[in-house]
Chain A
């Protein structure tokens, strides 16, 4: 293989891998955008909601014995989808018992509109979830294995021996991510629930005057955000081993994706996550691999300097 061929193949491979991982990052970011965009809650526990989603999918798979009647390929993805309503309920409960005390109308007499309390509360939830998971599940790495995890679709050979590999587990996960995003976009744009979410995000006071239960809308947004990020975690886990502290590795990516996409824009968050996936992969072509994650933040800073409102700034779209 000549140096030019190596460069072309590496670039094509990085684009392919970037799109596949970017779609999953995008779904994670959308989950956070539901909470950050609609409720303006800086949620430090979002990475840990993802971790809980990974464990929920793992236990749904193993305890229900899904591979025995759905097969080793379909079973894991059904487990991931079964974990979503569980995490929706978990998010609903967390909001009902804790988050609502520092958001919405409850924050009227709190300093900084409750943001300080939100930071401390969500950080506390994160620590409890991490250490609780450590006690309950142990520090051992686990993953949701499917036969697709280390299998790839071979595209090629073309252009005198070049080839690109598409990881099958990532490909299925990326497709599921896109379907969820499209469904969410439809719900937000076309349903009564979506309208109430948008109203609660745009102007909570006006929404209350119009008879919308903003507290309920916030709870729905929080639960949806939790379930979506948890689903992304489950999809990631089909190809990535996890442990109780895995959320820390991804929470920064989620925030970067949300800001890149434009704070308040759910669809923008998806493209923000996609951009991070692509930058992460493409950076390795010209820079040492150890700078892979640093490159994300250089890119992030560039976007913040050149286009502070992100790709889909709040003037263009909200929720």
Chain B
């Protein structure tokens, strides 16, 4: 028995050694991460980088790109900065300075992704993105692939769930809703879809819509409106954490107690706890494109151990998943040519999705991931936990009545 075990161990070690020798011989395959690592959006960009680094580490540990002699992935990080102009310049730098890049992922805000992909499309560089805006994949570009459900799509999925939950737990369906949104592309896409029939479909009357430019310096006027209109429900779409903070604190200050549903992760980033009491957040729900969920415990633990992140937001899990999507497509294309990779991504049939909620690892004609769903998270006892979909949930949802 012992001899057999030793023999097996030696075989595995020899195989790993041979694999790593091959991987070391092969030139790395460069994948870009174009995300904000400076300016006011630096924090989410840094988290995207953490996820991508873990993804590269795991892909390489699993033998790299076998079809390319075990070539390892190499992450190239490009700072998209904190404005659309900077993101455009960064994209131009990326395609000019890194001619060996075969693909990229990015760029956090939809407005940045819209600008970045204007440049990458001309360079035939395939880009995977978590950005939500419907516009990203409505322009007919061939090399832009949206792994998330679009903003409009997310609203379509989330609203019926939210209404059913309210009815189930309070015995009454909300009738009126107020919307507070920033004017970034993803937020406006969600609100546009809501106003174009979705609110009517679920029986909600829009009593107030407040649009602001981030970052806010003060939320008094926004919350004063909510106080005056007294809606049954508040949909709240911030992108910047400080805006989420100001709005929730102002609600407490003005004694406004309206069930609050957010869209996006600004209210669920770990540093929210640096600036807000957990009690203030308890019960707040948010619809997000992706989140660390049941079945990913080991990965979440590694993120904690290696980077000190208390939980896995969509920014980390999605860039992690992107590295595996690139691996799958590179195995198909068996080439370092970015056009071949684009073709492989368009025709990819990667089976059920493991690192994004719902659907499969395949893209439709527009570049949208087929069957993409969303995750609904809720602050419960100081932690934002997945409460929907059921198969990924780690806790049951509670209607935010207080």
Collect the chain A residues with CB atoms within 8 Å of residue B225's CB. Answer: 10
Q: Once the chains bind, are B221 and A10 in contact (CB under 8 Å)?
A: yes
Q: Once the chains bind, are B217 and A139 in contact (CB under 8 Å)?
A: no
Collect the chain A residues with CB atoms within 8 Å of residue B246's CB. Answer: 240-241
A152 at the interface (CB under 8 A from B): yes
Q: Once the chains bind, are B224 and A13 in contact (CB under 8 Å)?
A: yes
A288 at the interface (CB under 8 A from B): yes
A240-268 interface with B by 8 A CB criterion: 240-243, 245, 249
Q: Once the chains bind, are B253 and A152 in contact (CB under 8 Å)?
A: yes
A231 at the interface (CB under 8 A from B): no
A290 at the interface (CB under 8 A from B): yes
Collect the chain B residues with CB atoms within 8 Å of residue A93's CB. Answer: none
Minimal beta-carbon separation of A118 from chain B (angstroms) = 25
Q: Once the chains bind, are B242 and A141 in contact (CB under 8 Å)?
A: yes
Q: Once the chains bind, are B254 and A142 in contact (CB under 8 Å)?
A: no
Cα–Cα distance between A307 and B222 once the two chains are bound (Å): 32
Q: Once the chains bind, are A290 and B211 in contact (CB under 8 Å)?
A: yes
A21 at the interface (CB under 8 A from B): yes
Total interface residues on B, using CB and 8 Å?
36
Q: Once the chains bind, are A142 and B274 in contact (CB under 8 Å)?
A: yes
B183 at the interface (CB under 8 A from A): yes
Residue-wise interface mask of B (241-274) relative to A, using a CB-CB cutoff of 8 A (1 in contact, 0 not):
1100110011011110000000000000001001
Q: Once the chains bind, are A131 and B38 in contact (CB under 8 Å)?
A: yes
B43 at the interface (CB under 8 A from A): yes
Give the residue of B253, B254, B275 whose beta carbon is less than 8 angstroms from that of A241: B275
Q: Once the chains bind, are A10 and B217 in contact (CB under 8 Å)?
A: no
From known contacts A141-B43, A141-B242, infer whether A10 and B224 are also in contact, taking CB-CB under 8 Å: yes
Give the residue of B254, B274, B275 whose beta carbon is less than 8 angstroms from that of A165: B254
Cα–Cα distance between A146 and B210 once the two chains are bound (Å): 28
Q: Once the chains bind, are B242 and A289 in contact (CB under 8 Å)?
A: no
Q: Once the chains bind, are B222 and A289 in contact (CB under 8 Å)?
A: yes
Q: Once the chains bind, are A281 and B228 in contact (CB under 8 Å)?
A: no
Chain A residues within CB distance 8 Å of chain B:
1, 6, 9-10, 13-14, 17, 21, 131, 134, 138-143, 145, 149-152, 154, 165, 167, 239-243, 245, 249, 280-281, 284-285, 288-290, 292-293
| Apart from A10-B225, A17-B220, A240-B217, 5 more pairs, CB < 8 Å | A14-B224, A141-B245, A281-B220, A292-B217, A293-B213
7 contacts between A and B (CB under 8 A): A1-B228, A13-B220, A141-B43, A143-B245, A150-B277, A152-B253, A284-B221
- 10 smallest beta-carbon distances between A and B, as pairs: A139-B42, A284-B221, A150-B249, A17-B220, A241-B275, A140-B271, A143-B275, A139-B43, A241-B242, A6-B228
